Amino acid sequence: MSSDYQDKLKREGKAPATLDKLEWLLSLVLPKMGARPIGEITAAEVLSILKPVEKRGNLETAKRLRGTIGQVFRYAIATARAETDPTVALRGALVAPKAKHRAAITDPVKLGAFLRAVDAFDGQPETIAALKLLPLVFTRPGELRLAEWSEFDLEKAIWTIPAVRTKMRREHQVPLPRQALALLTNLKEVTGGGRLAFPGIRSVERPISENTLNASMRRMGFKQDEVSAHGFRATASTLLNESGKFSADAIERALAHQDPDPVRRAYARGAFWTERIEMAQWWADHLDMLKSGGQIINLRPSANSA
């Protein structure tokens, strides 16, 4: 049953990261329930799988696992292999995880220190390149980790992220500043013979993991509540807005955020591209300045200002 559901998602063109996460979650279930007819599985049996995950403190995983099991059951109902979804009866049965904000550096001095630490980091070339590129392009970590060389046009300085890999399922183009082009050109000498720009150590067909990036930051001495791979989106959003140099629309478009207004959304697809190119290069130069320990202007109003 679960394999049928996975095949359905593959046919729908779900992102590889989504499929990998689904496969991992189902691996927590299949050893205990995989051989059982899905129509016979009870809420109590599902809860017996969720509770050990919850007791280990993995509240978010337990919540996602319940949701994934529910998706499989609803597919089973639609294909006449089950009559009810037992996860419905489990609403409120698990401890709700607290909302977590992804750690991000928004202090310019600390950001400069982080960039210098990355320069001094002794890691795999793919990992170092990803750690340097994330602050520059501030895409979602999965979009960068899963990047394929075919997506980069280094001559035109554009990275086109296909819709299947974006959160909003819309193609997203990223203007590449000189610094990003230099990093990618050097990386291509290392990994350019394969499909993936950031392959893992064990297989050139699988990318480095998000855990690899976060673990590298811990090795550099940065704590979990200080910085995360996803946090550079908040870093760029905060500091670009505080600079006062660029329109909020251009910044939101660079972050691939979707405008709720369909008319503005259609207009925004091309309207801010020139500004985004300028912004990308200014941001890269600004990061270089912070990394070198250059003069930093405090953009935040002081507590004593009237």
The structure tokens 């290392």 sit at 190
Domain count, the chain: 2
* 267 labelled catalytic: yes
Q: Is residue 95 part of a domain?
A: no
Question: Does residue 296 belong to any structural domain of this protein?
Answer: no
Write down the pLDDT at residue 210: 78
Residue-level pLDDT at 259: 57
7-21, 121-135, 166-180, 256-270: range with highest mean pLDDT: 121-135
My answer on whether 145 and 253 are in the same domain is: yes
- Considering the domain architecture, whether residues 237 and 112 belong to the same structural domain is answered as yes
Boundary of a domain, candidates 43, 64, 90: 90
Reading the block at residue 300, the tokens are 């935040």
113 band by pLDDT with thresholds 50, 70 and 90:
very high
Helix spans in the chain (H): 2-11, 16-27, 30-33, 43-55, 59-78, 108-120, 125-137, 141-145, 178-191, 210-219, 232-243, 248-254, 262-271, 273-291
Q: Are 161 and 139 in contact (CB under 8 A)?
A: yes
CB 175 within 8 Å of CB 276:
yes
Domain boundary among 90, 123, 145: 90
pLDDT of residue 306: 36
Report the C-alpha gap between 53 and 188 in whole angstroms.
41
Q: What is the pLDDT of residue 302?
A: 42
pLDDT tier at 303 (50, 70, 90 boundaries)?
very low
- DSSP string for residues in 203-249: -TTSBPPHHHHHHHHHHTT--TTT--GGGHHHHHHHHHHHHTSS-HH
Same domain, 25 and 154: no
Q: Output the domain CATH number for residue 58.
A: 1.10.150.130
Is 286 marked active-site?
A: no
| CB-based contacts of 185, cutoff 8 Å, min separation 6 | 154
Model confidence over 204-258: pLDDT tens digits?
A: 889 998 789 999 999 999 998 899 999 999 999 999 999 999 999 899 999 987 6
pLDDT value at 76 more than 70: yes
pTM of the predicted model, to two decimals? 0.67
pLDDT digits (tens, 9 = 90+) for 189-199: 999 999 999 99
164 and 26 fall within a common domain: no
| Residue 140 falls in the annotated catalytic set | yes
The pLDDT assigned to 190 comes to 95
Domain boundary (59, 90, 121) is at 90
State whether 144 and 247 are in the same domain. Answer: yes
Q: pLDDT class for 304, splitting at 50, 70, 90?
A: very low
Catalytic member of 36, 218, 267, 300 = 267
Query: Given this model, what pLDDT does residue 301 score?
Result: 45
Q: Is 230 a catalytic residue?
A: yes
What range does the domain containing 144 cover? Answer: 108-291
pLDDT at 264: 53
User: What CATH number did the domain enclosing 281 receive?
Assistant: 1.10.443.10
Q: Are residues 124 and 178 in the same domain?
A: yes
**Tokens 């689904």 — which residue?**
22
Give me the sheet containing 152-153, strands edge to edge.
152-153, 158-161, 172-175
Instruction: Give the percent of the chain with pLDDT over 70.
Output: 89
Q: Which of 3-17, 152-166, 169-183 has the lowest mean pLDDT?
A: 3-17
Candidate list 66, 145, 172, 230, residue with the active-site label = 230
Tell me what pLDDT residue 209 has.
85
The overall average pLDDT reported for the chain is 87
Single out the residue of 92, 89, 75, 93 nearest to residue 38, CA to CA.
Answer: 75
| Annotated catalytic residue 233 | yes
> Which member of 5, 66, 75, 140 is catalytic?
140
pLDDT at 92 over 90: no
Tell me the pLDDT tens digit for each residue of 12-33: 877 777 788 888 888 888 888 8
Looking at 64, 110, 206, 257, which residue is catalytic?
Answer: 257
The pLDDT of residue 284 is 97
Catalytic member of 10, 156, 167, 169: 167
In the block, which residue shows the tokens 């419905």? 88
Instruction: Give the pLDDT of residue 174.
Output: 95
Looking at the structure, do residues 30 and 126 belong to the same domain, yes or no? no
Q: Are residues 123 and 266 in the same domain?
A: yes
User: pLDDT tens-digit profile of 247-300?
Assistant: 998 999 999 876 555 555 555 556 689 999 999 999 999 999 999 986 555 444
Determine what percent of the chain is predicted with pLDDT higher than 90.
55
* Cα 59 off chain centre by: 20
Mean pLDDT across 32-59: 87
| 45 shares its domain with 114 | no
Are 53 and 195 in a shared domain?
Answer: no
Instruction: Name the active-site residue from 132, 233, 253, 291.
Output: 233
